[in-house]
Structure 1
């Protein structure tokens, strides 16, 4: 691989799955390299499935497509194909898809907003201003179908998870957990701090693309009032 690509470690997980590990921490730049590598490989090895995480990339493949002449799976052939694909690819990040998420902050929609403001020593208005000011990246989907883990939270808003998780968090709830923010796609149990709610449906199993947000997407939050929330929720 060219020196510009980060050093990766290949970890076999199963007979049809490998993990390409680029790091071990939650880091914005490492995650950017994960998504750049995923895009590079997808464009040249389309027959392999790719699932990005914070600092690693899961590869799912058909072992029957990578056989030696004697019929055995060839780890070497797959490694060479990965390296060749990266050799031919640019390390530059593709322009991400941008999605705006409308959010009604505070009140019944975000019952922990005041607690986050108190912990951060900011006013609730400043918490909302800081939360909507930046562009986030969908680092990965996990925990539940369509749940986006978003990197880019203003460090001033980092707030520990609740000491006692809720048994039921409403669908669309926008929350902060530690140094991350995320959105609950369905009604789920959870311990993140709820600061608002979006009327958008994040996960629809009947849709051609079930998850509204995809790994690598750029996300911005837009504050709306309760009237706008109800109007959008009814459409």
Structure 2
């Protein structure tokens, strides 16, 4: 398929992409821009392009917050050859900042706060120098963007409007319940399945965020938006186990009055 512009149209200048060798069979890719939002958006778009084009030798693409680790078969392609193939793919697909991205979805995620579900909330509040209630207000007031899908399809989100960075646990927990809402730095993440973590647990959602019986197993994707909503424990039974779906028709400014599930 030709990628030449129509007569009279200016040639698009593809953004600079840093391609750093990462061992014998991988490249670390990052947009060469100081703007964090441009790097994050560009990284998401670059991932879509690579998974669609599948350059010769490519074996896997691992997403980071604002970078990609691209793994390849070093017996069929070199670092330099793959970097050139990626540049050609980008030139023909439009990765420049401000390029058209897919429409994002908004998710309203209910969260129950209690001594059992929020073991690290007092520590987070003390570390930030604010009250636990203020921590929760910040969580509700922050509209987060899903930066990437981490281990087990966990949605990793930023940026929570905390006044400072939140440290991780000194001793990671060996088993945290599914649905646990956790924070570290100025990011948040939800535990899809029981497992270990070093993030600090400040609440739990009764919804199921990842279900292998669904197609696809998650209804969210990178760049989708998230608002948390504190709900009373009495609502847990009504919502427990429902699959997380977008909050259709709810504008960001009215998110706190929306309904989840």
Give the alignment's TM-score, normalised by structure 2. 0.70
Distance 1:124 1:77 in 2: 51
Contact 1:199–1:232 at 8 Å: present in 2 too? Answer: yes
**What residue in structure 2 maps to residue 70 of structure 1?**
none
Name the SS of the counterpart of 1:181 in structure 2: strand
State the superposition RMSD in angstroms: 3.4
Listed one character per residue, the Cα deviations across residues 186-216 of structure 1 (whole Å, up to 9, x for unaligned) are: 1111111110001111222232212343212
**What residue in structure 1 maps to residue 169 of structure 2?**
162
Deviation at 1:15, TM superposition (A): 9.9
Distance 2:215 2:72 in 1: 22
Out of 58, 63, 78, the residue aligned to residue 52 of structure 1 is 63
Out of 21, 35, 51, the residue aligned to residue 30 of structure 2 is 21
Equivalent pairs, count: 222
**What residue in structure 2 maps to residue 32 of structure 1?**
41
Distance 1:35 1:233 in 2: 32
Name the SS of the counterpart of 2:228 in structure 1: strand
Contact 1:175–1:194 at 8 Å: present in 2 too? Answer: yes
Distance 1:223 1:87 in 2: 38
Deviation at 1:177, TM superposition (A): 1.2
Name the SS of the counterpart of 2:222 in structure 1: coil
* Structure 2 unaligned residues grouped into runs of 5+: 1-10, 55-59, 243-261
* Structure 1 unaligned residues grouped into runs of 5+: 68-73
Listed one character per residue, the Cα deviations across residues 88-111 of structure 1 (whole Å, up to 9, x for unaligned) are: 996244432211111112321111
Say if 1:82 and 1:200 are closer, same or farther in 2 by CA, change over 3 A: same
Distance 2:209 2:241 in 1: 15
Contact 1:176–1:193 at 8 Å: present in 2 too? Answer: yes
Give the alignment's TM-score, normalised by structure 1. 0.77
**What residue in structure 2 maps to residue 7 of structure 1?**
16
Distance 1:107 1:87 in 2: 46
Deviation at 1:115, TM superposition (A): 1.4
Listed one character per residue, the Cα deviations across residues 123-160 of structure 1 (whole Å, up to 9, x for unaligned) are: 21111111111111111112x21112211111326311
Distance 2:35 2:120 in 1: 25
